[in-house]
Structure 1
Amino acid sequence: MKCRDLDGILVVSVEQAVAAPYLSSRLAEAGARVIKIERPEGDFARGYDHLVKGESAYFVWLNRGKESVCLDLREPRARAALGAMIARADVFIQNLAPGAIDRLGFAPADLRARHKRLITVSISGYGEDGPYRDLKAYDLLVQGESGLSAVTGTPDGMARVGVSVCDIAAGMTAHQAVLQALFARERTGEGRHVAVSLFHALADWMNVPYLQYVYGGKEPARPGLSHPTIAPYGAYEGGDGRAVLLAIQNEREWANFCAEVLRRPELAGDPLFATNSRRVANRPALDAAIAAVFAPLSREEIVARLEAARIAYGRISSIEDLSRHPQNRYAEVATPAGPVTMLGSGILFDGAANEPGPVPALGQHTRAVLEEFATADT
């Protein structure tokens, strides 16, 4: 199935790495035509690894359904070619280093002055103003700057979130902004400039610990696989050494958990555990009581009790577990190295997912696109 809701929308993207390619990949999946402008040596994400039949996992994930055009934008003919594409585009995206797109002659304000309906999108590390605006930024650096590292890990030390969460947050934020801008253009006939930064996209996600600290004086802890303000809500091992995550959300569930899972109904009224605040304050004693019950049980025996009691839980999956998870959806993607099966989209339309387009080889569409835009001899 292809829900081509953005059919007829032309997107030109001078992009690299993760954040901007995430945005343009979602537009491509919705039916937009996306022309990806790569430097002659290619988007450096092509070289992050070579584990997917010789292709990069990042590149395969984020570049399906696009056209690859190689341009050396230091050259006048290449800049003229890009200008011709932008003149016909609905959306122009860029995530080059701070100031680079302006120096090349494609400042978003200038483009929009010439092309009234154009939506321009700039994705940066720290935004277009403020003292950090000229800094380069990459995902892990922003995890640190945004305070995410301070709330991620264990009491023994901080940890990196295991995926490029700042890049993804910026790409997701930009995606919703572009859709909003396209909707507004239908009403006004005018485009607009969209500015998204990794720092601000992730800082928005950090509002709960921010508000707790600024207004409540609470310094967030790094609780590992436990919730910082709800208990029990975390990981517990069975006697087989395999862990399950469980979550108690209210006092009714807590009483049910004590009676049907722990089979110790008296714990529900214990003064140490009578409210969520008391359980959080006495977490070591709470965890010890749960561990004592779970010690002789396997993980699947614990899961059976949790299911019978209708307590929310999740197994802690390895990547091997994920690769064969019974709830997975899959999509087959054509790549230069052959077909690849990847995890499917998180979205279904009327019960079906969009079919992903092919991943382009480096410069695969350069000649055809230049000829189409009548710039091969410019």
Structure 2
Amino acid sequence: MDRSELVELLTADGLRLLDSLPPYPTKDEAVRLVGRLRKEGHSPELVAAVLTQSRLRQKAVGKFGPFAGRMLFTEAGLEQATRLPVAALHAGRFARAGLTRIADLGSGIGADSMAMASLDLEVTAVDIDEVTAAIASYNLAPFPTATVRNAAAEDVSLDDFDAGWFDPARRTAGHADTARLSSAADYTPSLDLVFGAATRLPTGVKLGPGFDRSLIPDDAEAQWVSVDGQLVEMALWFGPLARPDVRRSALLLADGVHHELHAEADADDAPVRELGDYVHEPDGSVIRARLIGDLAIRLEAGMLGQGIAYLTSDTATSSPFATTFRVLERLPMDEKVLKRTMRDRGIGVLEIKKRGVDVDPAAFRKRLALKGDGSATIILTRIAGRHSALLVERVTPAADA
């Protein structure tokens, strides 16, 4: 969305037109809808703006639920926005610490500020992009304790705030088709500014889950967050926002339920052991937090291989922090053998998981020439230094019970 489209949209007529639209149409329906709206006298800019917003609102339901229907977005802003349940957890940290005046620096479309304002925290959302700041103003309009500033984070004095929440830009500038920045040195605001602020006042920082761990300050609590099996962020917490004796945390959100595994430091890996009857795939947050060793203790499991993030055990002990598979058969990672096995079992749909092997699952699956009505899962990995394929089936908690 450019400035001219936003100007057209942010009028009483523009917003009424947006709210009057049906659910985002199919391609053919969209063409007819554009024609109808143009015949009614609406400008090309407004028609483009309302259809874009209709599409983004539908897409945003996964992150914002019913709130998406009253919000505005840019393509990049929605992609980078914090999911509302995660934003609520961020806001809770500030509230529990008794911090009430928060600077949200790099606020984007205002997701985290919305969560803070919903707890009656006084939040100032700051974004350097004019269009994004305007959209944040719209999204935050229902919250009397929220204000928005169109400014660079570097130009905002923190003297009037109790705490700072930073979401450094990790992608190139723009409202759509942005690219991920490969180096943390290119983040805006810079990590020097962010970590410098953390030495002066309570600070939280949202970063990508693949952030270079060597750059994590020693005094920070690092928490990796997974939502419904998708690893979404790594947050750093400083001062009273960090919990005593917690430096590594894996937090899972699934179906409204929270599970957390945390420790004072990285866990030592469990010893490697022989393949058991079960293989456990740790959640991505556990892997990134390097708490696989602690999870192994809970599962009475060992490592499947050195440096391989799979655990194996003789029992099907379940955990929200891992997906458990029953091993049906161990096979060599030989395409001819696997092709014959899949054919004999009538497997037409194959899920391929892999760690420690250089395989393109899509290409590998195609070469197996699958046929049949059955489905299966295989794990391609290294066991005792040798490439192996494990034919497995998922173990659900009900089945385990």
TM-score in same-fold range (> 0.5): no
Q: Relative contact order, CA 8 A, sep 6+: which one is greater?
A: 1
TM-score, normalised by the number of residues in structure 1: 0.29
Greater per-residue strand proportion: 2
